[in-house]
Amino acid sequence: MFNSNYFVYITTNFNRTVLDIGITNDLATRLQQHFQNSDDKKTFAGRYYCYKLIYFERFTNPVHAIEREKQLKGWSRSKKEALIRSKNPELKFLNYIAEEKVIN
């Protein structure tokens, strides 16, 4: 029924002091938007410079992605960090490659 990709993602700032969780159907473009909005006080990601990708999950059903985003947003910081570390133990900034776009 669904044939698109939906992503729940977690970004952070350079010092990894803030976590931002979002959902998108175009992760590369969304990360570029976060970067371009750096220092934009009207957005959470801009206010805290959250444009470094540290975790993402892919879904084919948008309802499942929305449910997961809501679930993660309700978690404590320590639980979110444990999830991130399960796939990215050193909390490295990830490069996401899609359709020949490279996001650092």
**Tens digit of pLDDT per residue, the chain (104 long)?**
566 899 999 999 999 999 999 999 999 999 999 999 888 889 888 899 999 999 999 999 999 999 999 999 999 999 999 999 999 999 999 987 654 444 44
* Tokens matching residue 82: 């444990």
Q: What is the CATH number of the domain that holds 40?
A: 3.40.1440
- Asked if residue 59 belongs to a domain, the reply is yes
- Asked if residue 30 belongs to a domain, the reply is yes
- Asked if residue 1 belongs to a domain, the reply is no
* Tokens matching residue 58: 């892919």
- Asked if residue 13 belongs to a domain, the reply is yes
Q: From CA 104, how far away is CA 75, in angstroms rounded?
A: 26
- Asked if residue 16 belongs to a domain, the reply is yes
* Listed residue (92, 88, 9, 82) closest to 45, CA to CA: 9
Number of domains within the chain: 1
- Asked if residue 95 belongs to a domain, the reply is yes
**Domain extent for 32:** 6-103
Q: From CA 81, how far away is CA 63, in angstroms rounded?
A: 24
* Tokens matching residue 97: 């490659």
What is this structure's pTM? 0.88
- Asked if residue 22 belongs to a domain, the reply is yes
Say how far residue 33 (Cα) sits from the centre of its chain: 12
